[in-house]
A and B are shown apart, each in its own frame.
Chain A
Amino acid sequence: MFKTLEIPLNTHVVSEPATDREAQWLVKALQGDSPAFTHLVEAYQRPVYNLCYRMLGNAEDAEDAAQETFLRAYKSLRRFDQSRPFATWLLSIAAHYCIDQLRRKDLAVTSIDDMLVPEVPDHAPDMDTRLGRKQEQQRVRAVLDVLEPIDRAAVVMYYWYDYSYDEICQELGLSMSAVKSRLHRARKAMALRWNQTEAAHGTSS
């Protein structure tokens, strides 16, 4: 029943599989050529930043986390298993870093009032569209903020990056049943938070 209502979620976050040029950059970067790695940073900055943004909830922390992700990737490039996609490896580093950050700073506790100012400039032409997007952004942040770090990582990977359950198991080091259970719990938590947010907006308006 619900499958008919589902809309395919963001499938365009991670770009096409690594091209030959990217493979060459990777080989050069493995030889210690940092400008070659900068090309990889340019190629993957968007998916990495988006994951960090969805995990941490604000632009400043997301920027810092994305920068740190690329730095860690550069330093541990020799440990990269080339049989795996580079994007997956990068996103795994980003997810674990964000999980650590959330646990350390306890960023998960954020009130809805803190989210009223949009941090990413919106270039929509009219005011209504911008307002609508702003409210959508606030709701997305609100529903993600209610989740535990690992649950949030699983949700972001599943809904923004189209990761399969298997891939989430691999990247987060969880069993299949744990992933299913966490995603189920996360969906329920998000739905409950969504109801609360809607109720709050309804009351305020």
Chain B
Amino acid sequence: MNHYDYEAMIFTEEPLQLEAQADLLAHLENCGECRSLATAWFGVQRDLTAAPVQAPAAGFAGRWEQRLERDRQQVHHHQVLGTLGLSLAGALLLILALVFFLTPVFETPKVYLYAFLYQALNMVVAADMMQNLLVGLVRSVTSPVTLVIGLILVGIVSQLGVLWLASIRLATKTRRV
């Protein structure tokens, strides 16, 4: 056997056979290097065994809670910044799109202005026609109704309104079980 084999025997975690133990002991008596290594390894094991379990300073859990809070704030801060960044990017894109689509308007404003005025005029004419239509319709409906019939109708409609409100209230009221 060579030094490497004896080293393996010194550092092994497996129990050695009696023969191997005797062989190793004989080697250690003659080999100062391996003897020194074995002594050192015993020393290491002794120190590791004696080394106490280290505990953190008091208040570790409290400090952890503070750290968690800091971390949450940091995450929130990043989220806010991210949202802000996205919003800004979106706004910028929107502005660019607007600029792109409105460029022709700025280049030939007269044409667009006339078109706008024409459309506005058309809308006014259409509104006037609609108004005339509605007025004619109301007049044709209300002309046969006399004052008395009108008052009766208003009274009926008022009563129906009261009934409607009462039934809505009953339907939405919480019931006792």
Residues of A within 8 A of B (CB): 1-3, 5-10, 12-13, 34, 38, 41-42, 45-47, 49-50, 53-54, 59, 62-63, 66-67, 70-71, 74, 120, 133, 136-137, 139-140, 143, 159-160, 184, 187-188, 190-192, 194-195, 198
Contacts and interface: CB of A to CB of B under 8 A. Distances in A.
Nearest to A192: B40
Given A2-B10, A50-B54, A9 B49 contact: yes
A67 B64 CA distance: 6
Contacts of B126: none
Identify whether the interface residues of A are mostly helix, strand, loop, or mixed.
helix
Nearest to A63: B56
A192 B37 contact: yes
Identify whether the interface residues of B are mostly helix, strand, loop, or mixed.
helix
A194 B40 contact: yes
A194 B47 contact: yes
Interface string B8-49: 101110011000110011000000000011101111111111
A13 B53 CA distance: 7
A60 B55 CA distance: 12
Contacts, number: 121
B105 to A, nearest CB: 52
A34 B72 CA distance: 12
Nearest to B66: A67
Interface in B49-103: 49-57, 60-61, 63-65, 67-68, 71
Given A71-B64, A140-B48, A184-B11, A120 B54 contact: yes
A49 B41 contact: no
B40 A41 contact: no
B16 A3 contact: yes
A147 B36 CA distance: 20
Contacts of B15: 3
Nearest to A48: B56
Contacts of A192: 37, 40
15 contacts: A1-B21, A2-B10, A2-B16, A2-B41, A3-B15, A34-B68, A38-B61, A42-B61, A63-B56, A63-B57, A67-B60, A136-B50, A140-B51, A159-B48, A194-B41
